[in-house]
Structure 1
Amino acid sequence: MKQGVLLIAVLTLNGCSSISPQECEVGDWFAIGKTDGQQGIASSKFRSYQKECAEHGLGSDFKAYEQGHAEGVLLYCTYDAGRELGQSGGAYNKVCTGALEPTFRLGYDRGRKWYQAESALLNLQKTLEQNAGTIEKLEQRIDDNTRELSVLKDKQQKQNLLDENRNLLQDLRQLNQMQGQLQRDLKQAELQFSLIQQGG
């Protein structure tokens, strides 16, 4: 039993990406299968274990792995696990099938809505921040040009700065309009996210 627990810990630390000769030799395939099932890893993962153990001249037991995996899947295929997967942005997997799927899928769909609403909110916040930074730079540029205009004597240089300021002001108006729309969109996104949070 202790060997099985140790093997699970080693596999978890390695992200179940490989299996060592010692792990193949211990061969607690039921425990390995159960751990994979609990983590939502498809039973097809066994093929990579089988291949790696065979390369070391050691066997593997799919029947025991499959039994453990089936037990682990029962613990994984819950509403909460589905919601957690959806909220993390993870892709929907096919581990939960048959009678186990509806509850898991409901959790996943709600978690996915959460993730999408939160992503939209964060993107809007980022865009607003970037837009505000651009507005600040344009305002600074206009201020700098205005100060320079007060000391310039060359008519052509003055005209060039006046033309530039005119263009900058036009850009600034457009950015301020965009900022207003982004703020309205942000309020809507915040409301949407709040409703989804309340819905669980």
Structure 2
Amino acid sequence: MNMNWCLIKLIKAAGIPTLLISLTACSVMSREECLTADWYTVGYADGADGRPPSRIGDYRQDCAEYGVRPDLDNYRLGHRSGLDRYCTEANGFQEGVEGNRYKGVCPYPLEANFLAGYNRGKQIYQAKREWKNIQDDLRRASSELEEFDEKINKKERELVKDGLTSARRAEILQDLNNIRYNKQQLQHKIYQLESDERWSKQQYNSLRFRDSW
């Protein structure tokens, strides 16, 4: 809502490092928005987005500069109506799937249905995150395996060089054996990760298809 103006003002006044610290000081409402606000509509929009009613405190602070006091009663009425739209089982499911945090805004009569959907959606989100984390581990391990192959090739080339002393040759062979052992351990890890990845993918897809909305 006037964020661009706020960013420009902070950049000119403080520079990038201070900007990162000062972003929270940006106003939520501009002068024009304070002067023309339909507080029922503002409350409805906040409720429909799952924002807490305490957000009106931000509006009060911003608009005080322009001599405007938010209409608390109309804001609360709008916010409550907005919650009727937000606090549904289907919306709770979507919030959970996206990994959004529930801020405890739903009134008691609506909260049970919202949480039923939210918890199912959160299960899918967590299953997907676990699957993706295993995929990341697998990619890192595969990259590390390639590095071991390069190290082995390098040591094998060293081993056939002319003029090596027996002590140096023994040292290279020991290094080579250590690298091969570590590679073998990594291959076992990759095998386990591949198994875990298949299982996690199956779990994610099972939850996704079972609880799709």
Over 3 Å counting, the alpha-carbon distance change for 1:100 and 1:186 in structure 2 is same
1:157 corresponds to 2:168? yes
Instruction: Output the CA distance in 2 between the equivalents of 1:12 and 1:84.
Output: 27
1:179 corresponds to 2:190? yes
Aligned to 1:3: none
Contact 1:37 1:72 in 2 (8 A): yes
Q: Deviation per CA, 1:22-45, whole angstroms, max 9, x where unpaired?
A: 212113101100111111111110
Aligned to 1:77: 87
Aligned residue pairs total 190
Aligned to 1:5: none
1:108 corresponds to 2:118? yes
Contact 2:31 2:63 in 1 (8 A): yes
Contact 1:21 1:58 in 2 (8 A): no
Contact 1:29 1:60 in 2 (8 A): yes
Unpaired runs of at least 5, structure 1: 1-9
Over 3 Å counting, the alpha-carbon distance change for 1:84 and 1:122 in structure 2 is same
**TM-score normalised by L of structure 2:** 0.83
Q: Deviation per CA, 1:97-139, whole angstroms, max 9, x where unpaired?
A: 2111111101110111011100100010110110011111101
Counterpart residue identity of residue 66, structure 1: R
Secondary structure of 1:45 counterpart = helix
Aligned to 2:158: 148
Q: Deviation per CA, 1:37-68, whole angstroms, max 9, x where unpaired?
A: 11111111001111221132222100010111
- Flag as ranges the 4+ runs of structure 1 deviating above 6 A: 11-14
Over 3 Å counting, the alpha-carbon distance change for 1:17 and 1:36 in structure 2 is farther
Q: 2:69 aligns with which of 44, 59, 65?
A: 59
Instruction: Output the CA distance in 2 between the equivalents of 1:33 and 1:12.
Output: 20
Unpaired runs of at least 5, structure 2: 7-25
Counterpart residue identity of residue 102, structure 2: Y
Counterpart residue identity of residue 186, structure 1: E
Supply the RMSD in Å over aligned alpha carbons.
2.0
Q: Give the share of equivalent positions with the same residue, in percent.
A: 30
Equivalent runs, 1:129-148 vs 2, <5 Å: 129-148=139-158
Counterpart residue identity of residue 176, structure 1: Q
Aligned to 1:189: 200
Contact 1:152 1:158 in 2 (8 A): no
Over 3 Å counting, the alpha-carbon distance change for 1:104 and 1:30 in structure 2 is same
Equivalent runs, 1:18-37 vs 2, <5 Å: 18-37=28-47
Alpha-carbon offset, residue 148 of structure 1: 2.1
Instruction: Output the CA distance in 1 between the equivalents of 2:162 and 2:99.
Output: 57
Aligned to 2:21: none
Aligned to 2:20: none
